Structure 1
Amino acid sequence: MAKKDYYEILGVSRDASQDEIKKAFRQLAKKYHPDKGGDPEKFKEVAEAYEVLSDPDKRAQYDRFGHVGPEQRFDFDLRDFRRAREAFEEFGFGSAWEDIFDMFFGEGLRTRTTRDRRRSRAQRGEDLEYRLRINLEDAAFGAQMKLTVPRSIACDVCRGTGVEPGSQRTRCPDCNGRGEIQYRQQTLLGSFVNIRTCGRCGGTGEIIENPCRRCRGSGRVKVESQLSVKIPPGVDTGSRLRLAGEGNAGLEGGPPGDLYITVEVRPHPIFRRQGDDIYIDLPIKFTQAVLGARVKVPTLYGEEELVIPAGTQSGETFKLAGKGIPHLQGWGKGDQYVTVKVQVPKGVSRKAQELLRQLEDEL
């Protein structure tokens, strides 16, 4: 195999600057461009030389060994010529690289064939968001809720096709069914073929001449859907529930989107929630705080008895284990914390005042 001298291929000295190397590449690329009657293999050779010499690491490796031969190879595919392609794009020639790619490797190796470029009509439906307000009890124990959700479903007349019954789609006359339109662009390197999506058919390659009268060609109609959703125990404000397939209908046979429900728990008149724990303020009498007592405490599960020790101070907190919110993930429940608030009596009678003064002397 003949050894390659990349400096010689580009016609530059071994101490050439990057600007000199880039300038030489542009000139030779224009000279050997296939559309200008140049040699495709020579063009590839020039691109290979530029790919090595424009990369400081590859150039240093190349300079060390001197030549590229069987004993030291840079394996290239035109698809790997990133720097050469960037040089094209810098001057607005990026689309031309695809044409050159086809000349070397054939259109079958490109990532998008004409058939692939044609946009599929089947599209997934949009996801929907719904905000659901529930009370604390439903959040704690779960509930089955009925929702009315505005959404789009497949048209019952055209069955989602958008075409009036008895009619059919026709080939787009602008792109001849390809879904794209080719046009030529003149550049410094010559004339190149560019591709854009057909504006008339939107890339599908087909148009609707007789749209459905009910959905006006969209394939979908808006309705108010009645849905049932199960609220699991333990949800909190911000929890999101997903109802698969309950979003908007897809287009042209595409799958429907999903419905996402965001939960908002209403404030409770008695209980305060922090995580899975419940907090409550409990007013008690002055005498109960001094002498101690057994009092009834409201919880989400009904009334519970709480022992107030003698001498309890206002603001002290007691725990009722397992009387909080069930854990959404896993077993168990939170706790309930009861903060007592000692009530000081108002409008005390004279007799009561005398007794309190006697009590004050005793204390």
Structure 2
Amino acid sequence: MNPYEVLGVARDAAPDEIKKVYRRLARETHPDLNPGDAVAETRFKQVSTAYDILSDEKKRRAYDEFGEISLEAGFDADKARAARDQFEARFGSPDDDAFGEGFAFGGIDDLLRGFGAGRGGRGGPRFAMRGSDVEASMSLGFVEAVRGGEKRLHIARPRADGGVIEEDVTVRIPPGVTDGGRLRIPGKGGEGHGGAPAGDLWIRVRVEPHPVFRVSGRDLEFDLPIRVAEAIAGARVEVPTLDGRATLTIPPGTSSHARLRLRGQGVPAAGGQPAGDLYARIKIVVPKQIDDETRAAIERIEQDDPRKGLF
């Protein structure tokens, strides 16, 4: 990234001019003023990064001398300058006529790369640097996330010259992706420099909740209300599934919070993993009002004291 081009200022621009331009661009591209605008968000990050470089005297001087690679972690401008000065004192500058036209010079570049930089400040960068990673977000419906599939997403990613690339990418959604999960698309981040590869695109997934189902790993779960009589005597009831309906057998004497399983009705099989299961968590619904006859019938059925042994 060229911070001068990002802000649209000359290399000899004064600090006050740089600050004025930055404030204007930051207002225009701020995410709070452009909700949901991926291009504006990417541009805001670029503007902020460019200002961070040009507003810092040491960073700006290092960039002017060594180019973008001076911004890499671990770069030491003082050591790089000392190494360059020692090299040129011994061998002369590669820009001198003594080297001859077309001289294949690489020594000083190789030396400075040991400190994280080549001669980027002299006539353009001569280095290879991988592009930056890009973050994006994507919302999925619950069933869409459980089943997986493909979805198109509009993204904005940095160009090597400081501009922005806008494009639509196809995102492959693995079955069972969960809320907050991250998907990676290699090579769809910022452009690389000097022939280096582009960065990656990382997509944060937001999954809308379902009114009935919940996800637990590769399994699905839901609450199943049943009557007291069904819990006591057992029953066969219809239950919802992702594909429609199925019949579930409730064994006699089923208690609240019991989990009954429907095999293979959870997250679909994918990537060598088998399909998950669907679990019904039992909730016994007790009637709020019962008549004397019903009360007597229940008391005849339930002769055992469930609290026996507690005391």
Band of TM-score, shorter chain: 0.5 to 0.7
Render the CA deviation track for 1:2-32: whole Å, top value 9, x for unaligned: xxxxxxxxxxxxxxxxxxxxxxxxxxxxxxx
Paired residue secondary structure (2:143): helix
Q: Is the 8 A contact 1:139 1:236 kept in 2?
A: yes
Decide whether aligned partners of structure 1 residues 328 and 264 sit closer, same or farther in structure 2, where only a CA change above 3 A counts: farther
Paired residue secondary structure (1:355): helix
Are 2:280 and 1:338 aligned?
yes
Unaligned runs of 5+ in 1: 1-91, 104-111, 155-218
Alignment partners' CA distance in 2, 1:361 and 1:126: 71
Paired residue secondary structure (1:227): strand
Paired residue secondary structure (1:362): helix
Partner of 2:167: 225
Alignment partners' CA distance in 2, 1:242 and 1:360: 58
Sequence identity percentage: 39
Q: Is the 8 A contact 1:131 1:262 kept in 2?
A: yes
**What TM-score results when the alignment is normalised by the length of structure 1?**
0.47
- CA displacement at 1:292 relative to structure 2: 1.8
Are 2:215 and 1:273 aligned?
yes
The structure whose residues are more often helix, as a share, is 2
Decide whether aligned partners of structure 1 residues 343 and 239 sit closer, same or farther in structure 2, where only a CA change above 3 A counts: same
Render the CA deviation track for 1:14-57: whole Å, top value 9, x for unaligned: xxxxxxxxxxxxxxxxxxxxxxxxxxxxxxxxxxxxxxxxxxxx
Structure with the greater relative contact order (CA < 8 A, sep ≥ 6): 1 or 2? 1
Paired residue secondary structure (1:307): strand
**What TM-score results when the alignment is normalised by the length of structure 2?**
0.54
Are 2:263 and 1:257 aligned?
no
Partner of 2:255: 313
Q: Is the 8 A contact 1:147 1:227 kept in 2?
A: yes
Give the one of 148, 156, 159 matched to 1:142. 148
Render the CA deviation track for 1:70-96: whole Å, top value 9, x for unaligned: xxxxxxxxxxxxxxxxxxxxxx9xx69
Decide whether aligned partners of structure 1 residues 126 and 286 sit closer, same or farther in structure 2, where only a CA change above 3 A counts: same
Higher Cα Rg, which structure: 1
Partner of 1:118: 119
Task: Tell me the amino acid that sits aligned with residue 281 of structure 2.
Answer: T
Render the CA deviation track for 1:267-304: whole Å, top value 9, x for unaligned: 32211222112221100112222222111111223211
Paired residue secondary structure (2:144): helix
Give the one of 277, 289, 293 matched to 1:355. 293
Q: Is the 8 A contact 1:234 1:328 kept in 2?
A: no
Are 2:164 and 1:151 aligned?
no
- CA displacement at 1:124 relative to structure 2: 3.2
Render the CA deviation track for 1:244-285: whole Å, top value 9, x for unaligned: 222123346554322122323333221122211222110011
Render the CA deviation track for 1:46-69: whole Å, top value 9, x for unaligned: xxxxxxxxxxxxxxxxxxxxxxxx
Question: Structure 1 stretches (4+) deviating beyond 6 angstroms?
Answer: none
After TM superposition, the structure 1 = structure 2 runs for residues 230-241 of structure 1, keeping only pairs within 5 Å, are 230-241=172-183
Partner of 1:248: 190
Task: Tell me the amino acid that sits aligned with residue 309 of structure 1.
Answer: P
Alignment partners' CA distance in 2, 1:346 and 1:239: 43
Q: Is the 8 A contact 1:279 1:336 kept in 2?
A: yes
- CA displacement at 1:343 relative to structure 2: 0.9
Decide whether aligned partners of structure 1 residues 286 and 150 sit closer, same or farther in structure 2, where only a CA change above 3 A counts: same
Task: Tell me the amino acid that sits aligned with residue 144 of structure 2.
Answer: D
Alignment partners' CA distance in 2, 1:284 and 1:151: 53
Judge which range, 338-347 or 113-122, deviates more: 113-122
Decide whether aligned partners of structure 1 residues 291 and 151 sit closer, same or farther in structure 2, where only a CA change above 3 A counts: same
Unaligned runs of 5+ in 2: 1-78, 91-105, 111-117, 121-125, 302-311
After TM superposition, the structure 1 = structure 2 runs for residues 71-220 of structure 1, keeping only pairs within 5 Å, are 113-116=107-110, 117-119=118-120, 120=126, 123-153=129-159, 219-220=161-162
